[in-house]
Structure 1
Amino acid sequence: MTGPNGHDSAIDKRDFDSRRPLLNDVDPIAEEQDPGRPQSRPRSRLSATNNDDGLLNDVVDEILERDRRKMAKEVVRVGSFAWGVISCLGAGSITAFSLYGPLLLTRLHYSQLRVNSVAIAAEVAMYLPVPLFGYLCDRYSPSPLALFSGFVFGAGYLLAALVYKSGPPPDVGGDGWPFWVMIVAFIAIGVATSCMYLAAVATCAKNFGRGKHKGIMLAVPIAAFGLSGMWQSQVGTYLLYERLDDGTRGDVDVYKYFIFLAILLFCIGIVGTFALRIVDEDEEKYIDEAVDELERSGILEESEFFQSRSEVRAAYGTFSQEDAGSDGELTITQSEEEREAERLEKEREEEERRKKNWLLNYETRVFLQDKSMWWLALGFFLVTGPGEAYINNLGTIVQTLTPISSPPNTPPPAGLPSTHVTTVALTSTIARLLTGSLSDLFAPPATHLFPSNLEAAIRPTSPTGETRTTFTRLAFLLPSAFLLSIGYLLLASPFPLSHPSLTHISTALIGLGYGSAFSLVPIIISVVWGVENFATNWGIVAMVPAAGAAVWGIVYSTAYQDATDHGNGSPDGQCHGWKCFGFWAVGCTLSVWVAIVAWTVAWRVWKRRGVVV
């Protein structure tokens, strides 16, 4: 570039002004004394650089804080899941009832009807309160249920231990505690089982309810519930046993076994009070998504109670504008502004609470008015009732296949009761894990609840672009129920009388079908009706096994006692032969076949509605 005098105006090193201060020569004191003095350009550039660094540091700090919050949320989620599994591993102690059920018959001289009454009392107390506990869990948190279950478990098993140690009751010639005290003890055990199980399962369902692995994350704690009977029966058989006169291992020491369970489950409940946590952000997100969908459908506008969130925001905006307008007229102190902000925050929290309660109550009404729910519950009743009765009476069923002429203290030819309990636990656990994982892998994406929130977006796609093979969850549930019926049919046949070892096959098939039902039915409920009200919905359906266990338990005990009174009994009060269980097994087979029909009807209803199961 050429200057006006014709010379090149480019700055050369010889044109440098030696009187211009360098960066290190800037005197901060002189600058303070002469604020009007112009600052050098390098000083301005350094200041801008420092400002940029400060902004960058703020961004980095925000990112780190966000990552810390995300990590803390994941720690809570994973920790709650882990303790939920541990809780279920202890909560299913009632599934080992057949381990000590025969000893109630021989040691306390209870009749078979009384033994079944104890089991039925526990089953009814376990299933009937589930809707109430589910309601409390949905609207509050699982922690109170875990705390309650710990105390009730401890009290129940401690009372049962004392009743057993006291001996036969007075009405059968003994001087022990009355029979009704044992009933009270097992009612407490049943209630505590329901609390601990539901707190654990609801925590896992709400923390992982919308993920692509929701099936397996829900199946694992449910499977752990089935495993609890296995490991606890083994502890009772091989660690807490009675030592015979010759030093060999005898039957389980029921008193020590009950004390062990009282201490264990009390500790699990106390720790669960602090360990079972629902990630608040996820729960609020599910509620907001459900409300958004209902707002789009226009259902919320028809409710006189519910105020739409746009109106709530407008109301809060009005408050803010009024406050802003009054600032020009009145001088509001900082404390008054803080009180106003707290008031608005409380109003917002109250509105959120009312919104959640309204939504959950609405979804409960929808669930109860849905005819497909009743078909699903009917099938669940017809499947779980025989299963509960079989598990509770495994000990006496095994003994019925032992000939009367068999020497005492010899292992029964059909196997030890603890072995069958372990078989049921293992097969039901395998079934729950397989059905849960396979349903995640092959089930179609459920988009009927929130079409705008496509679950398919988070599912893996085939690398070749081909359509992924999908199966409905009913494709796993119905064949599992058929295998269950085969188990009862084999038991009802004459083959186990000549080959008692075949009962292991029956036990395995019954465990597979029973476990699949308890895994897939809650998963189907969470898919069809959502997870926002899952604990309440599942609690309603989970009541039906109580009625099923009562009905089929009474049928079994009546047939057992009738066969005992008509020539099939032994001096110790036990029954031997096919008549002790045969007709009951035939009825169980027919019951499962009717359940398959009921579930097929529910499936057809869902298909007509476009509900993806």
Structure 2
Amino acid sequence: MTLFRGTLACVAIALNAVCAGGIFTFPLMSPILASHLKLTQPQLTTIVLAGMMSQYTVASGVGKVIDVYGPALCSLIAAVLFAAGFGGFSAQIYFSPDDPTASDSIAMFRWLTFSFLLAGLGTVFAYFSSLFAASRIFPRHIGIASGASMALFGLSPLFLSVIASNWFTERTTETLDVTRFSAFLSLSTFLVYISGAFSLYINATPTSNEGLESAAESQDYRDASEETTPLLSNQKPPIHQQQTLLAVLQTSDFWLLALVCVVTLGASEMVISNIGTIVVSLPPYTIENIGDSSAQSFTARQVKLLSLSNTFSRISVGLLADFISPAASSLPTGLQVFPRRHRITRITFLSISSLILAWTFWWTSTYVLTRDDIWVLSVGTGIGYSAVFTVLPSITSSIWGMKNLGRNFGVLMYAPFVGNPIFSYLYAFISESHASEGSICQGRVCWQTTFNVAVLTCILSLLITFILGGRWKHCL
């Protein structure tokens, strides 16, 4: 690959990753939608869940598209979905009446939900195009390439929220212009992913020489592994070597791990989706800052903190896990080789995540009194949430082997698909029960019960990780 082609590919991968998180800026929009379109908290929750959950429903199908047609087609599909989703979102708000009736609000709610569902589908196509293009174009540095792509995706909400704050927020009132911002997202993502499709089509298709080179490297690996296999003493088979999905689903280990994901990822995504209305429910620290403008700036700050802590956790946990709990490499015989001595098992990182989230939710329920205190919730959620995602693929491959890693990991991704709506609607309906008609819920009563439930479930998750740690201590 020439220097120009390599640079073009890196730029396309980076832009595809960093522009993919538009749906995660919904907390900046939700207070405006509630006040101007008279949408209720359950309606706001449904809109954001349409975007968040649609990603998981098609993940396995998008992976198949990547395998068969490559990342360029995924980038092209993302361009169309983002343009339609964010464009429809902007148009619906632009043509909404100044004083909507109840029937107007219901009609707008349905169209906004559909638009955000399209944007959510675009997100998974965009993310996969970046991640797997990086893996294909830089096969000799797959760890660094995929890790950098995931880190940039984690920074996407921060990048887009900075744009929203600096160019689409009124200086006098500090109110986000949701119509213009969502229109910007529609146009900019369309251009980014159309150009990305062209660049990735050129660069992610291996030439014949590259294919021969890859095959030769694979043969060298097989030869080397066969020569060294008898000399390796740290070989262990996966404890579940069944390759059929039914066999995997019949193991209690799989369901225990899935339950951990339901709790940790579901509760975290509830916070990510609703941080805007959580901020609005609380008063500022000083009386001079009371007003919607203060709420808007505080919400933007929380989105940035979530993004930064998410990215920091992905990088630091990944590096730390590789150092003190190296993942196994699979040999052609099916055995797994551990390159270095284990100091702790990777399941420990799931235990730490559960503990961090339990403490964060307990702190929020007990000590958060003003908007200035919310930063603890944002940082703790970002760290706990991303740490689970960082170690989950390697845990899955170590327990069930590499052959069907994508399938097994994809099935586990239905866990947040279940957990997110459970926790989000729990929050939404409790908040709605304490809200005055036509207004957003005010006070800690809006979410205190939800976080108390989240604390108990995270403690349950922690106990499950202890059980799994005991079962898996010899293979992780």
Per the TM superposition, whether the score is higher than 0.5 is yes
Is residue 189 from structure 1 mapped to residue 70 from structure 2 by the alignment? no
1:544 to 370, 391, 415: 415
Separation (CA, whole Å) in 2 of partners of 1:210 and 1:480: 31
Q: How far apart are residue 175 of structure 1 and its match?
A: 8.8
The range that moved more, 476-485 or 282-291, is: 282-291
Contact 2:362 2:451 in 1 (8 A): yes
Structure 2 CA distance for partners of 1:366 and 1:104, relative to 1, 3 Å: same
Q: Which residue of 1 aligns with 2:328?
A: 446
Q: Is the 8 A contact 1:489 1:585 kept in 2?
A: yes
Q: Which residue of structure 2 aligns with residue 392 of structure 1?
A: 273
Following superposition, the deviation at residue 523 of structure 1 comes to 3.8
**Paired residue type of 1:181:** W
Closer/same/farther in 2, CA of residues 206 and 242 from structure 1, 3 Å limit: same
Of the three residues 501, 512, 532, the one matched with 2:383 is 512
1:229-268 CA-to-partner distances (Å, cap 9, x unmatched) read 111112111211235xxxx253111111111111222223
- What amino acid is the match of 2:421? A
2:164 & 2:205 partners in 1: Cα distance? Answer: 34
Q: Offset of 1:584 from its aligned partner? A: 0.4
* 1:231 equivalenced with 2:159 (yes/no): yes
Q: Does 1:258 align with 2:182?
A: yes
Paired amino acid for 1:152: L
Q: 1:376 to 1:138 in 2, by over 3 A?
A: farther
Tell me which residue corresponds to 1:525.
396
Quickly say closer, same or farther: Cα 1:274–1:410, change in 2 above 3 A. Answer: closer
| Counterpart contact for 2:175–2:293, Cα < 8 Å | no
1:98 offset after TM fit, Å? 0.3
Rounded to whole Å, the distance in 1 between the matches of 2:179 and 2:432 is 27
Q: In the alignment, residue 586 of structure 1 is paired with which amino acid? A: N
1:512 Cα deviation from its structure 2 partner: 0.9
CA contact (8 A) 1:157 1:262 kept: yes
Specify the code of the residue in structure 2 equivalent to 1:472. T
Choose from 22, 26, 48 the match for 1:119.
48
* Distance of 1:289 and 1:119 partners within structure 2: 49
| TM-aligned CA distance change 1:242 to 1:144, over 3 Å | same
Residue in structure 2 matched with residue 14 of structure 1 by the alignment:
none
Which residue of structure 1 aligns with residue 228 of structure 2?
none
CA contact (8 A) 1:367 1:373 kept: yes
Residues 1:271 and 1:521: Cα distance change in structure 2 (over 3 Å): farther
Structure 1: give runs of 5+ residues left out of the alignment.
1-70, 293-360, 460-466
Cα deviation digits, residues 32-65 of structure 1 (max 9, x gap): xxxxxxxxxxxxxxxxxxxxxxxxxxxxxxxxxx
> Residue by residue, what CA displacement relative to the aligned partner does 1:185-221 show, whole Å, maximum 9, x if unpaired?
011011111111123233445667886x73x543332
The SS at the match of 1:241 is: coil
Match of 2:230 in 1: none
Q: Which amino acid is the alignment partner of residue 113 of structure 2?
A: I
Distance, in Å, in 2 between the alignment partners of 1:125 and 1:510 is 21
TM-score by length of 2: 0.82
Contact residue 138 and residue 536 of structure 1 kept, 8 A: no
Say if 2:196 is the partner of 1:272. Answer: yes
Q: Is the 8 A contact 1:420 1:504 kept in 2?
A: yes
Deviates more, 1:174-183 or 1:511-520: 174-183
Name which of 460, 463, 468 aligns with 1:594.
460
Task: Determine the C-alpha separation between the residues in 2 that align with 1:533 and 1:79.
Answer: 32
Distance, in Å, in 2 between the alignment partners of 1:291 and 1:180 is: 55
Distance 1:266 1:362, change over 3 A: farther
> Could you list the per-position Cα deviations for residues 152-178 of structure 1 after superposition, in whole angstroms to 9, with x for gaps in the alignment?
111110000001112259652659963
Structure 2: 5+ residue stretches without partners: 224-241
Tell me the equivalent position of 2:429.
Answer: 558
Matched residue SS, 2:442: coil
Do 2:348 and 2:469's aligned partners in 1 also have CA atoms closer than 8 Å?
Answer: no
Aligned to 1:579: 445
Q: How does 1:415-426 map to 2 (within 5 A)?
A: 416-426=298-308
The alignment status of 1:496 with 2:368, answered yes or no, reads yes
What CA distance in whole angstroms lies between the structure 2 residues aligned with 1:444 and 1:429? 21
Which is further off, 253-262 or 433-442?
433-442
Correspondence list, 1:89-488, <5 A: 89-167=18-96, 171-172=101-102, 174=104, 178-204=108-134, 214=143, 217-242=145-170, 248-276=172-200, 277=204, 281=211, 368=249, 371-402=252-283, 409=291, 412=294, 416-444=298-326, 446-447=328-329, 450=332, 470-488=343-361
Q: CA deviation at 1:481?
A: 2.6
CA contact 2:88–2:115 (8 Å) conserved in 1: yes
Contact 1:167 1:177 in 2 (8 A): no
Kept after mapping to 2: 8 A contact 1:237/1:252: yes
Q: Secondary structure at the match of 1:242?
A: coil
Distance in 2 (CA, whole Å) between partners of 1:125 and 1:538 is 17
- Cα pair 2:38 2:100 within 8 Å, conserved: no
Distance in 1, Cα, partners of 2:303 & 2:414: 23
User: TM-score, length-normalised on structure 1?
Assistant: 0.65
Cα distance between partner residues in 1 of 2:310 and 2:333: 35
1:297: which partner in 2?
none
Higher radius of gyration, 1 or 2: 1
Q: Does the 8 A contact of 1:240 with 1:253 survive in 2?
A: yes
Asked if 2 retains the 8 angstrom alpha-carbon contact of 1:150 and 1:270, the reply is yes
Structure 1's 291 and 538: CA in aligned 2 closer, same or farther, altered over 3 A? farther
Instruction: Work out whether residues 37 and 100 of structure 2, in 8 Å CA contact, stay in contact via their aligned partners in 1.
Output: no
Superposed CA RMSD in Å reads 3.6
| Partner Cα distance (1:288, 1:529) in 2 | 25
